[in-house]
């Protein structure tokens, strides 16, 4: 068998932009939403693309629907590949509604999750409770990701509220604040009813908040292209479909026609 371990792509071909950080990276993180991958598909995702993947969200409240051995296997494999894996924030909202927050955290610890998402996309949550949940997540050793925005159709960003949320959440220790766009990417947050980015709102947000603190949910290719072209490869992007992960990485590096113009190296 021919040995290929010494082979390596010329850097100008592997990353024409010359900007992509290796893991563990602080810029340009990618979060994939897992809405029910089987173990074989999950392992295939990691074997081909783990170096391009920073976070996996077990979508919505699907975590208790898996056989426990399957879920635990996913969690262990993700952690072995340097990936933060956590249940969707909606599941914590369910726990709050059912007065089962302690049980929720107990199971996350027992299963080995290394992240937790704190959101109020569907329920109303007092600032005091949000603070307590962030503190509890950190005390239990989780990487805490919070989320801003409601899931209802037509919901928008209230700039002052967002600024306050990001400042307080990050001061308390949240790693990133996710900007809600749901899995559809339409009619929520910075996206209009057709999924087109509302650039004026985006610029207002970025004029007030450092971009490295924000994770933008952008499930549609057109949104990913627009945001990368506008803000560069180092933008954090989430709610990416597993089968679109490699395609997104190609966009970040200027390896697709949509972002080929980014491929002017600075080194």
**Two tokens, residue 8:** 């390596």
Q: pTM for this one?
A: 0.91
Q: What stretches of 65-187 adopt beta strand conformation (E)?
A: 84-87, 115-118, 143-148, 176-179
The CA dihedral of 226, 232, 233, 239, to the nearest 10 degrees, is: -40
What tokens appear for 260 in the block?
């080929």
Evaluate if residue 194 carries a pLDDT over 90: no
Residue 57: strand pairing partners: 33, 86
- Per-residue pLDDT at 193: 76
**pLDDT value at residue 224:** 92
* Fold that domain 23-262 belongs to in CATH: TIM Barrel (3.20.20)
- The model's confidence at residue 195, banded by pLDDT at 50, 70 and 90, is confident
> b vs e for 224-262, b when ≥16 Cβ sit within 10 Å of the residue's Cβ?
bbbbbeeebbbbbbbbbbbeebeebbebbbbbbebbeeb
Cα separation of the two ends of the chain: 36
- Beta bridge partners, 116, equal 144
Q: Tell me, what's the pLDDT at 234?
A: 95
Q: Which residues contact 148 (CB under 8 A, 6 or more apart)?
A: 157, 161, 162, 165, 166, 177, 178, 179, 180
The rounded distance, in Å, linking the Cα atoms of 50 and 125 is 34
Query: Which residue ranges make up each domain of the chain?
Result: 23-262
């Amino acid at each position: 068998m021919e040995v290929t371990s010494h082979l390596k792509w010329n850097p100008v071909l592997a990353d024409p932009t010359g900007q992509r950080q290796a893991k563990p990276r602080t810029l340009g993180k990618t979060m994939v939403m897992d809405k029910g991958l089987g173990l074989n598909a999950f392992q295939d995702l990691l074997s081909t693309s783990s170096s391009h993947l920073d976070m996996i969200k077990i979508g919505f409240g699907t975590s208790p629907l898996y056989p426990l051995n399957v879920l635990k296997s996913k969690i262990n494999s993700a952690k072995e590949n340097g990936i933060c894996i956590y249940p969707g924030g909606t599941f914590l909202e369910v726990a709050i509604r059912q007065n089962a927050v302690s049980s929720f955290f107990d199971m996350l610890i027992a299963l080995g999750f290394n992240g937790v998402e704190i959101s109020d996309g569907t329920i109303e949550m007092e600032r005091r409770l949000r603070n307590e949940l962030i503190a509890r997540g950190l005390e239990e050793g989780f990487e805490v990701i919070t989320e801003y925005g409601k899931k209802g159709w037509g919901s928008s960003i209230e700039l002052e509220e967002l600024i306050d949320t990001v400042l307080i959440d990050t001061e308390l220790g949240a790693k990133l604040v996710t900007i809600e766009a749901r899995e559809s990417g339409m009619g929520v947050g910075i996206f209009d009813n057709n999924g087109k980015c509302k650039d004026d709102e985006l610029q207002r947000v970025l004029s007030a908040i450092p971009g490295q603190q924000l994770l933008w949910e952008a499930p549609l290719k057109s949104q990913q292209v627009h945001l990368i072209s506008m803000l560069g490869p180092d933008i954090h992007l989430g709610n990416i479909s597993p089968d679109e992960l490699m395609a997104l990485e190609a966009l970040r590096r200027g390896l697709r026609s949509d972002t080929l113009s980014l491929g002017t190296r600075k080194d």
